[in-house]
Amino acid sequence: MTAPLDHLTANGHLERFFIGGAWVTPRGTASAGVTNPATEKVVCRFPLGTGADVDAAVAAARKAFPGWSRTAPEHRAELLSRLAGLLETRCELFAQCLTLEMGAALGYSRATQVPLAIAHVKTAIEVLSDFAFVKPRGRTAVAHEAIGVCALITPWNWPLYQITAKVAPALAAGCTVVLKPSELSPLDALLFAEVIEKAGFPAGVFNLVQGDGAGVGAALAAHPDVDMISITGSTRAGVAVAQAAAPTVKRVAQELGGKSPNVILPDADLSCAVAPGVAAAFRNLGQSCSAPTRMIVPRAHLPEIEALAKEAAEEIIVGDPLSETSTHGAIANRAQFDRVQTMIEAGISEGARLVCGGPGRPEGLETGLFVNPTIFSDVHTDMRIAQEEIFGPVLCIIPYDTVNEAVSIANDTVYGLGAHVQGRDMNVAKDVALRIRAGQVHLNYPAWDPHAPFGGFKQSGNGREYGLEGMLEYLEAKSILGYF
């Protein structure tokens, strides 16, 4: 198989944007480097877009919108099916690309990052096939129409996964899009644009402009011909986008930060509750906005839970992402590596008790952005590590004395994205789930459901992705009285 960089270079796409159905030369001269987190070496450079590139992409999307929005849903579903099939044929290319640009262990890229991304496309097809765009309500018709041109800003931690989670439902709804991927993981977006082109989507339906927040993100948010902007990123970035978008009164969907709780109830089977909780907190090296990084546990069981958590963490093998034995690779970028180290030091200085891990790199890894999977116990809710999103493999164990206190601790952050609850008595577990202020709650580690709407309460954002609700974000409701 051709390596991702060789593939993009041979096709001439590494230094191009995809606008109006063609690979075009960027209008500016600025560029940025892509760094391999495992080696800390720059592996290539790519162009950064400008306001002029944004104008061209938005114009192409605006031109394509009338025709695309009026296509039959069956035709849109057919093109999305082609897209899913092409993604599946290029699974290994995408997996190698993600490992190169954001450091995920190759096994994880193959088993999780890429397959779950494809699942979003298949889910959009399923939703589209069952969706009635015109529904009767008495004599009134309630019609759902595509909102228009959508700007999509995606993050570096789940690059392809977040691209498909936004692009697929937007295209299914009949919208046209301009994608700005993270400048820290831009290569998979180029591969995705190739697949869009090969699938046969009409010119201008999908457009790609690389760039940073200041040069491209802000221009998209403020653009008068963009009808909606959807961003996945930090709360700080979400606020900036919303502020830039406000003067043009466009719709803004935000999937932002999180500090998700994992409430282990007093009756939980600890042998089934603790180890999967550690695995969930450390999936993607903790670089997931919904990772359950606060394990809220009965004080009476604290020693046993600490022992089980430590044992689970010691099963993790951090190492070369290309090694078949590595379960976890490198932190995706230097800024995030430094953030994780700072927060581990903060936990120690605030008096949390270190169960395992700690600052620095794992033994034997002298270079690369590798971190120790770290667990703190006796954490209090006023500590920084209990309140701030760390975005790394750092788990806080917080003891409680009553279930009411556990719920209070779970809700004691500015975030409300995801949550977990473990317990044998499902009536109690369901009651706790309903009391937690979060957009998605998992009971006893269920299988992932791509149809389950995902999004946040409080400073975790607004709007929903995935499933039916994910497509509804890209639709406007129109009432036509007297239609029936």
Write out the catalytic residue numbers.
255, 289
How far apart are alpha carbons 412 and 404 in whole angstroms? Answer: 12
Residue from 437, 327, 345, 329 nearest 385 by CA? 345
Both tokens of 214, joined, read: 């200041």
Q: CB within 8 A of 292, min separation 6: which ones?
A: 260, 261, 262, 277, 280, 281, 418, 419, 420
Report the half-sphere exposure of 197 (CA within 13 A, side-chain side): 17
Q: What is the DSSP string of 279-295?
A: HHHHGGGG--TT---EE
What does each C-alpha distance from 126 to 115, 361, 372 come to in angstroms? 16, 44, 41
- Backbone phi, psi, residue 35, to 5°: -105, 130
CB 350 within 8 A of CB 369: no
Rounded to 5°, angle at Cα 283 from 278 and 289? 105
Both tokens of 438, joined, read: 């979060």
Residue from 82, 60, 89, 24 nearest 200 by CA? 82
Task: Put residue 49 in one of left, alpha, beta given phi > 0 → left and psi -120 to 50 → alpha.
Answer: beta
**Burial (CB count within 10 angstroms: exposed 0-12, middle 13-18, buried 19+), residue 139:** exposed
Question: In this structure, how many other beta carbons lie within 10 angstroms of the beta carbon of residue 225?
Answer: 17
